[in-house]
Structure 1
Amino acid sequence: MNYETRLKAEDGVAVSGDLSGAGDPAPARKSRRRTIIIFALIGLALAIAAYFLMRGDAPAPPAESQLPVVSVLQPGRETVAGQISATGTLAARRELPVGVVGEGGRVLSVPVEQGQWVKQGQVLAVIDRSVQSQQAQSSAAQIQVAQADANLAQANLDRALQLVERGFISKADVDRLTATRDAAAARVRVSQAQYRELQARNARLNIVAPAAGLVLMRNVEPGQTVGGGSAPLFSIAKGGEMELMAKLGEGDLAKISAGVAAEVTPVGTDRVFAGQVWQVEPTIDPTNRQGTARVSLAYAPELRPGGFASVVIKSGTVVAPVLPESAIMSDEKGDYVFIVNKDDKVVRRTVKQGAVTAQGIIVAEGLNGTERVILRAGGFVNPGETVKPVKPRS
């Protein structure tokens, strides 16, 4: 029995075996500390794993360099001239149909063509008047006969007046000769009136221009027989003045009045013609709920009656945001734009388009001008997507 065994025995504890070093507490404390650290690390790992498991499959937010870059514009509010766009048909402002005024006859010649300018009273078609000329000559001869009878009646009356003083002719004979003289003078006037009537009829045989203007239609040829009541043979634009008959809705008609300026562009040409509204018709077509604004135009070869043209009519001023055409999109739900909110996320905004101006498209409803509107990348982003907005280069 060694010293350690004896010591424990004295304390009432039986210890057997080699106990050298077993009584030192330092190794036991180190072992416990190591165990605690291992369990702490395992718990931390489990906590991290649980965190990611709770997040599910949510992707990590993209880096700023990976965000879509979009150009944005704050349009503000601009004062622009209000405009109403419409389409319509070109026509002569005052179209004069010209037909047969007299009894008509066979056409001898037609000295004018379509597109030719004519003066007031200029002959458009010559009608055969051979028979009428003979009638006029006969009427002129009747005047001479009546005048001869009137001269004879006056001479007889003059002689009777000289003889009545001598008592050779009675007062009754003088009265009879006076009546004969008056009747002869009346027949002279009747013959003269008949002659002038024939002259007027003959003058109406030729078809003449009632006013100066441009010949739009010629519907007669030499050798053709025409008569009163037939369809018009010519059509003349008085003074060559033209107009556009623009079709507008009731709301647009209420915004304009006579005298406002307008710009007309005929189909097939890029030339713009200045005009002004000279009449807003007071009636509305009940079938399509549209009315007509008539825009007067000066003559130009490109303005052909019956042609189609577009018109922009001025309608005061408008204060509203103006956007380029690329910023506004449309689908089955209507017109809309994409804006970027304060969190740099894309938001769809429904808008209502106004008139198209040289500066862009007026946004009548949907924007107040302070929004950041996506200009050109709207078709490549989706609502709710995070983007990187940049201002376009000037």
Structure 2
Amino acid sequence: MDYRTGDLGAEPLALEGPDLPRRRRRWVILAAIVLLAAAALAWFLLRGDKEAAPAAPGGQQAPSVTVVVPRRATVGRAVTATGSLAARREMPVGVAGEGGMVTRVLVEAGDWVREGQVLATVDRSVQAQTAESLAANINVARADLTLAQAELERAQQLVGRGFISQADVQRRIATRDSAAARLKVAQATLSEQRARNARLDIRAPEAGLVLTRGVEAGQIISSASGTLFRMARGGEMEMRAQLAESDLQTIRVGASATVTPVGETRTFAGRVWQVSPVIDPQNRQGIARILLSYDPALRPGGFASATIVSGTGNLPQLPQSAIMSDERGNYVYVVDGVNKVQVRRVRLGTVGEEDVAIAEGLTGTERVVRSAGAFLNPGQLIKPVLDRNEG
């Protein structure tokens, strides 16, 4: 029996006995069981993580990304196009008369004018003197006619008395008729000169909007001067939308369209009034002309984009967040069979408040990245999570 010292009155402590080896074996067995259970739990957890989230190249875990399957809906089939703005009926205005020196220009570009309104006046001092001379000739011819008529009337009174012969009466009738003809010639010549003088003024051929002014006071103009003013008849504008040959086949006269000029946030409603009957053999494109009401933002020569509704169709629909664009156009990310994202080029149809119709590029069965496409790269491995509310 051994006693532990240091404490008075301590009880003796047994260090050996028949149960000591059995107790040691029990603790060793329990410790081994605990270690095995911990190892099994760790292996199970690690295996579960690997199955739940595949590892991307480089050992990183693949990100979870929400994907949608496009839903199909009957929508207006839309065709997008670009083109230039122009006057629907542009009228070049030039010199109609003999020309001369411009004395006044009465309108500016952007002014509305009525039919026949004077746009510019030309000096007519010489022509005015000519008109006065011709007016004097009329007075002379009229006086000659009056005298010839009086002599004829006296001769007709004397022929019955035998003072003059019938031949003298006939000569006086011819003199009277000649004077009447000279009067008509003088009147016609004066009317012609006045018409020429009126043509010296540059006038609007029809009511409309003055687009450009190319003449100034003091300028000498003639029939070879070319266009002095350009006008839009009635102020009507149009967009000349360039379309591919396949798209042009679907466009009909009367189709509605919306036009957005470059630099404008507003859109302008219009309708197709003419579809080109020919195709350019170089670029395989044709032109659809969209009629637009006048607005100061619609400047001829400017560039614009248009969306033309060309009937209805059953098209895939995607949320707007799924659509991305670059210098080549619009695209989406689709997930392939091995959960890698791939670029798919698409052509947009009608754009709604939340959804976009896909005119070309998708069949409607693909898994498309709903958002966060800007943070992905082509070929990247992801963990797709289907958004069933959008599918």
* TM norm. shorter chain > 0.5: yes
Partner of 2:101: 106
Q: Is 1:269 the counterpart of 2:264 in the alignment?
A: yes
Q: How does 1:50-61 map to 2 (within 5 A)?
A: none
The one-letter code of the counterpart of 1:367 is T
Match of 1:321 among 306, 316, 321: 316
Cα separation, partners in 2 of 1:383 and 1:209, compared to 1, 3 Å: closer
Match of 1:220 among 202, 215, 218: 215
Partner of 1:389: 385
Whether the 8 Å contact between 2:69 and 2:364 is mirrored in structure 1 is no
Partner of 1:256: 251
Q: Output the CA distance in 2 between the equivalents of 1:361 and 1:64.
A: 36
TM normalised by structure 2 equals 0.77
Task: Please state how far the C-alpha of 1:383 moved relative to its aligned partner.
Answer: 7.0
Q: Output the CA distance in 1 between the equivalents of 2:240 and 2:137.
A: 57
Task: Please state how far the C-alpha of 1:367 moved relative to its aligned partner.
Answer: 2.5
Match of 1:353 among 346, 352, 363: 346
Q: Output the CA distance in 1 between the equivalents of 2:256 and 2:293.
A: 13
Task: Please state how far the C-alpha of 1:269 moved relative to its aligned partner.
Answer: 1.0
Aligned residues: 331
Q: Is 1:137 the counterpart of 2:132 in the alignment?
A: yes
Q: Output the CA distance in 1 between the equivalents of 2:377 and 2:140.
A: 105
Whether the 8 Å contact between 2:102 and 2:216 is mirrored in structure 1 is yes
Cα separation, partners in 2 of 1:272 and 1:186, compared to 1, 3 Å: same
SS in 1 for 2:71: coil
Partner of 2:157: 162
Q: Output the CA distance in 1 between the equivalents of 2:166 and 2:302.
A: 82
Whether the 8 Å contact between 1:125 and 1:206 is mirrored in structure 2 is yes
The one-letter code of the counterpart of 2:383 is V
Task: Please state how far the C-alpha of 1:217 moved relative to its aligned partner.
Answer: 0.9
Gaps of 5+ in 2: 1-45, 55-62
Q: Is 1:172 the counterpart of 2:167 in the alignment?
A: yes
Partner of 1:290: 285
Q: How does 1:42-81 map to 2 (within 5 A)?
A: 62-63=49-50, 66=53, 68-81=63-76
Alignment RMSD (CA, Å)? 2.8
Whether the 8 Å contact between 1:112 and 1:124 is mirrored in structure 2 is yes
Task: Please state how far the C-alpha of 1:213 moved relative to its aligned partner.
Answer: 1.0
Whether the 8 Å contact between 1:267 and 1:308 is mirrored in structure 2 is yes
Q: Output the CA distance in 2 between the equivalents of 1:283 and 1:252.
A: 13
Q: Output the CA distance in 2 between the equivalents of 1:381 and 1:180.
A: 106
Task: Please state how far the C-alpha of 1:375 moved relative to its aligned partner.
Answer: 2.1
Q: Deviations over 1:304-326 (max 9, x none)?
A: 11111111111111202112355
Cα separation, partners in 2 of 1:306 and 1:328, compared to 1, 3 Å: closer
Q: Output the CA distance in 2 between the equivalents of 1:354 and 1:116.
A: 41
Task: Please state how far the C-alpha of 1:122 moved relative to its aligned partner.
Answer: 1.1
Gaps of 5+ in 1: 1-58
Q: Output the CA distance in 2 between the equivalents of 1:329 and 1:113.
A: 45
SS in 1 for 2:188: helix
Whether the 8 Å contact between 2:332 and 2:368 is mirrored in structure 1 is no
Whether the 8 Å contact between 2:53 and 2:383 is mirrored in structure 1 is no
Larger Rg: 1
Match of 1:196 among 191, 206, 210: 191
The one-letter code of the counterpart of 2:212 is M
Q: Deviations over 1:88-140 (max 9, x none)?
A: 11111111111111111111111111111111111111111111111111101
The one-letter code of the counterpart of 1:354 is R
Match of 2:237 among 238, 242, 245: 242
Q: Deviations over 1:165-193 (max 9, x none)?
A: 11221111111111111000000000000
Task: Please state how far the C-alpha of 1:387 moved relative to its aligned partner.
Answer: 3.0
Q: Output the CA distance in 1 between the equivalents of 2:116 and 2:380.
A: 77
SS in 1 for 2:130: helix
Cα separation, partners in 2 of 1:237 and 1:383, compared to 1, 3 Å: closer
Whether the 8 Å contact between 2:237 and 2:293 is mirrored in structure 1 is yes
Whether the 8 Å contact between 2:332 and 2:369 is mirrored in structure 1 is no
The one-letter code of the counterpart of 2:252 is S
Cα separation, partners in 2 of 1:178 and 1:363, compared to 1, 3 Å: closer
